[in-house]
Amino acid sequence: MRIVGGEGRLEPFGKVTVVGGGAWGTALAIIADRAGRQVRLWVREPEVAAAVAGARRSPFLPGRDIPLSIAVDDDLGAALAGAELVVLAVPSQFLRAMARRVEALLPPGVPVLICSKGIEVASGALMSEVVAAEMVGRPRAVLSGPSFADEAAAGQPTAVTVAAAGADAALDPLAARIAVTLGTATFRPYLSDDPVGVEVGGAVKNVLAIACGMATGRGFGANARAALIARGLAEMKRLAEALGGRWETVTGLSGIGDLTLTCSSEQSRNFSFGKALGEGLTPEAALAGKAAVVEGAANAHSVTELADRLGVEMPICDTVAAILRGEVVIGDAIRTLLTRPLTAEPRALEPHVKLRHPAAG
């Protein structure tokens, strides 16, 4: 079904407030402005907000001009005034506190679009579950997909998924209106009615990107990275299905699309962090001096703890988490992964058939 055109044309949200002045929040503000919306960008630090408003440049998105038509503010109440759609683009572990602040200031009925990717460490909750708990009854949707902020802000072709729970995503008025609100010739939102699958993809891919970065930092080549991506996709699928998501979603933009992007380029903060670890840096040294949050560093723990509670096997993510906790060194961890019992890919043999690895002795 087409969501735009003909007699059923949907009206976009005219006034959009983006909460979060990091790279992705700034890029989303630019995207909404390019789509013709009236945009406000809330930046937490007053000094950064003043610099952005004056120079029209962000330290988190260097080299990209911020249009004069985007209002920049560090006053959350002022930024939310009159908003018809609020975009939440803060780091995953700060989303709960921010959702609580926004809820206290936002009139009832104004929907929120969740663009944070991750699983909350303290609770094991998905980002939509965090928002549902703090913004009870408020309409919400999630956005995820393969989207480096700098490229999206530059107007390079980008496709993402917008998901809201409903019987038919193409008929869901919130997801469809968001797609119309943000969609341009270079930014293409696709619709889904599986927010769980979309969110799991966004959380797990960051952890797998650290694993791919580690392998690259250790000198392994494209074969190893491809294997990690493929087997990591299987881990993503298992967790999504255990939470009620669908495997089809994992094979789309928010799953394999985002996974492939994040695991293949040093533009990815998670990949570059993992590469630094593979080259011998400690997690603390690899994170030192980074202005932007490396989401996978926290989500390695929240993803694996959630998987443990659900009884879901995620050996690659478990290995990343163990390395970050200092429980195992990278060389030993890779050796353990490579000598796991041989097994069949799904549907090739009985699902639980395992063979003893010859290197295991």
The answer to whether residue 78 is domain-embedded is yes
For position 3, what pLDDT does the model report?
54
The answer to whether residue 311 is domain-embedded is yes
For position 351, what pLDDT does the model report?
47
Any residues with CB less than 8 A from the CB of 329 and at least 6 apart, and which?
323
First to last CA, the chain: 56
Instruction: Select from 173, 193, 213 the last residue of a domain.
Output: 193
The answer to whether residue 1 is domain-embedded is no
CATH number at residue 144: 3.40.50.720
By three-state DSSP, how is residue 119 classified?
strand
CATH number at residue 241: 1.10.1040.10
Please check whether residues 78 and 163 belong to one and the same domain.
yes
Q: Does the pLDDT at position 264 exceed 50?
A: yes
Instruction: Select from 193, 212, 228 the last residue of a domain.
Output: 193
Report whether 216 contacts 225 (CB < 8 A).
Answer: yes
The answer to whether residue 334 is domain-embedded is yes
Instruction: Select from 193, 213, 248 the last residue of a domain.
Output: 193
By three-state DSSP, how is residue 187 classified?
strand
Look over the chain and give the mean of its residue pLDDT values, rounded to a whole number. 90
Please check whether residues 236 and 312 belong to one and the same domain.
yes
What confidence tier does 341 reach under pLDDT thresholds 50, 70, 90? Answer: confident
What confidence tier does 342 reach under pLDDT thresholds 50, 70, 90? Answer: confident
Please check whether residues 227 and 344 belong to one and the same domain.
yes
Please check whether residues 303 and 156 belong to one and the same domain.
no
For position 343, what pLDDT does the model report?
76
The answer to whether residue 253 is domain-embedded is yes
Q: Which tops the pLDDT comparison, 358 or 245?
A: 245
Any residues with CB less than 8 A from the CB of 214 and at least 6 apart, and which?
274, 275, 277, 278, 320, 323, 330, 334
Cβ neighbourhood burial of 43 (10 Å; 0-12, 13-18, 19+): buried
Q: Does the pLDDT at position 96 exceed 50?
A: yes
Any residues with CB less than 8 A from the CB of 264 and at least 6 apart, and which?
212, 225, 271
Across the range 29-42, mean pLDDT stands at 98
Nearest to 126 by CA among 138, 108, 144, 149: 144
What confidence tier does 360 reach under pLDDT thresholds 50, 70, 90? Answer: very low
CA distance 29 to 327: 41
Active-site amino acid positions: 205
Please check whether residues 134 and 226 belong to one and the same domain.
no
Q: Does the pLDDT at position 170 exceed 70?
A: no
Please check whether residues 29 and 178 belong to one and the same domain.
yes
What does 43-76 look like in DSSP terms, one character per residue?
-SSHHHHHHHHHHS-BTTBTT-PPPTTSEEES-H
Question: E strands within the chain?
Answer: 15-19, 38-42, 71-73, 85-88, 112-114, 140-144, 158-163, 187-192, 342-343, 354-355
Q: Say what angle helices 195-217 and 269-278 make with each other, to 10 degrees.
A: 30
**Structure pTM?**
0.90
The answer to whether residue 262 is domain-embedded is yes
CA distance 27 to 32: 9
Please check whether residues 262 and 143 belong to one and the same domain.
no
DSSP state of 256: I
Please check whether residues 208 and 187 belong to one and the same domain.
no
The answer to whether residue 244 is domain-embedded is yes
Please check whether residues 204 and 318 belong to one and the same domain.
yes
Please check whether residues 40 and 119 belong to one and the same domain.
yes
Q: Which domain, by its residues, includes 57?
A: 6-193
Q: Does the pLDDT at position 266 exceed 80?
A: yes
Percent of the chain with pLDDT over 70: 91
What confidence tier does 347 reach under pLDDT thresholds 50, 70, 90? Answer: low
Across the range 39-54, mean pLDDT stands at 94
Domain count, the chain: 2
For position 350, what pLDDT does the model report?
43
Please check whether residues 181 and 270 belong to one and the same domain.
no
Report whether 232 contacts 259 (CB < 8 A).
Answer: yes
Report whether 218 contacts 270 (CB < 8 A).
Answer: no
Phi-psi region for residue 15, left (φ > 0), alpha (ψ -120 to 50) or beta?
beta
What confidence tier does 317 reach under pLDDT thresholds 50, 70, 90? Answer: very high
Across the range 140-161, mean pLDDT stands at 97
Across the range 271-290, mean pLDDT stands at 91
CA distance 135 to 305: 25
Report whether 359 contacts 341 (CB < 8 A).
Answer: no
pLDDT tens across 208-254, in order?
999 999 999 999 999 999 999 999 999 999 999 999 999 999 999 99
Please check whether residues 19 and 101 belong to one and the same domain.
yes
Which is it for strands 140-144 and 187-192: parallel, antiparallel or unpaired? unpaired
What confidence tier does 166 reach under pLDDT thresholds 50, 70, 90? Answer: low
CA distance 11 to 4: 9
The answer to whether residue 68 is domain-embedded is yes
Cβ neighbourhood burial of 315 (10 Å; 0-12, 13-18, 19+): middle
